[in-house]
Amino acid sequence: MVERAYDFLMPSVNFFGPGVISKIGERAKMLGMKKPVIVTDKFLENLKNGAVAQTLASLKKSGVDYVVYNEVEPNPKIHNIKEVKTLYEKEDADSIITVGGGSAHDTGKGAGIIMTNGDDITKLAGIETLKNPLPPLIAVNTTAGTGSELTRHAVITNEETHLKFVVVSWRNIPLVSFNDPTLMLDIPKGLTAATGMDAFVQAVEPYVSVDHNPITDSQCIQAIKLIESSLREAVANGHNLQARTKMVEAEMLAGMAFNNANLGYVHAMAHQLGGQYDAPHGVCCALLLPYAEEYNLIADPERFAELARIMGENTDGLSTRDAAELSIKAMKQLSEDVGISHSIKDIGAKPEDFDLMAENALKDGNAFSNPRKGTKEDIVKIFQEAYDAK
């Protein structure tokens, strides 16, 4: 095996644990923020003593002015990032604070990108296309799932073409991230399951990625163990603070891992489902995971056998291939236990769209690190298997 060098990227400061949200005002002041745009959605803004309320209270206490953009929507669109830019310029803001899950963080990143790198973000899709830094960015995370508060990925949907695309750059990484599990206690079980499965996929994919390394492997392994031991509990009882805290830790580890070892066909394909049908990203990932990884299994059966053991499966006396198959079974079981549906049919997928979606999936920035190199026909078949699932 040829030795290779790696880089490792993450925010310079990361606060996590119960109560850390109280520190955001002093950190914003330390960064010289005088008037950030708070990027969030109406639901979070209206929550009494929720993430937005606590963020604003901490900013006020530290004497930091702000303006709020509350129109974030799932699978953020180009018009969302343009609206943030317009508000930023109108209010003479100087920085961005995103409050929410992946949609809020991606909206904030996307707005920052077009503020400093050109109005047409579609021309910047790809890896390391950004030449200029974004405005100062802090990310306050409210779901244990996407990892966007830690990563260099900005995922945006072109509402005209229904194509979901990714701008991957070290310049997108927030300066500071906040992960406070007390902000997540009232998240509904469906969203807890969807975002938790997203974190799980973001631990599995970099573990089998062609870009994995010993540092990311250790993060993936610990993230998978934490999710196995806490996601079911967090879905069953959202006020289980211990389970929520473990999921925060798992989500952060998975985010660091995929930020550096990258992802694979699950995310490349999930972006097409989300863009085409405006479906929840975590659900798309969970539905595709076992079928994409079953396809990948022959590329590295020993690694999949190890995945099975990490997930608690008993592989004693089994061949490597049989042990590897248990990892696929365990993936399906976790998804089923937390209430994810079985088929992409349930989110509106249509077989007549598979050909175009497969073509676009192979162009997605996440496809290039997949352990097995497939054709458009292979991807169509994976979509079909996920559609036919019962």
Quick: pLDDT tens for 159-209.
999 888 999 999 999 999 999 999 999 999 999 999 999 999 999 999 999
Quick: pLDDT tens for 79-135.
999 999 999 999 999 999 999 999 999 999 999 999 999 999 999 999 999 999 999
Q: What's the CA gap between 357 and 380, in Å, rounded?
A: 8
- Looking at the chain, the whole-number percentage of residues with pLDDT higher than 90 is 95
Quick: pLDDT tens for 217-226.
999 999 999 9
Q: Give the pTM.
A: 0.94
Q: Report pLDDT for 162.
A: 86
What average pLDDT does the segment 15-42 reach?
A: 97
- DSSP classification of residue 280: -
Q: Report pLDDT for 46.
A: 94
Contact by Cβ (8 Å): 217, 207 = yes
Dihedrals φ, ψ of 178, to 5°?
-125, 125
Pairing relationship of beta strands 67-69 and 176-179 according to DSSP bridges: unpaired
Please say if the pLDDT value at position 3 is more than 80. Answer: no
168 by DSSP, 3-state: which?
A: strand
Classify residue 181 by burial, with Cβ atoms within 10 Å: 0-12, 13-18, 19+: buried
Mean of the per-residue pLDDT values for the chain?
96
Identify residue 87 by its one-letter amino acid code. Answer: L
Identify residue 124 by its one-letter amino acid code. Answer: L
Please say if the pLDDT value at position 1 is more than 70. Answer: no
Q: Report pLDDT for 2.
A: 61
All structural domains of the chain? 13-184 (3.40.50.1970), 189-388 (1.20.1090.10)
pLDDT band at 7; cut points 50, 70, 90 = confident
What average pLDDT does the segment 264-270 reach?
A: 98
What average pLDDT does the segment 64-93 reach?
A: 97
Please say if the pLDDT value at position 350 is more than 70. Answer: yes
Please say if the pLDDT value at position 376 is more than 60. Answer: yes
- Looking at the chain, the whole-number percentage of residues with pLDDT higher than 70 is 99
Please say if the pLDDT value at position 374 is more than 90. Answer: yes
| Residue 164, H or E segment | strand 163-168
Contact by Cβ (8 Å): 199, 222 = no
Q: Report pLDDT for 156.
A: 95
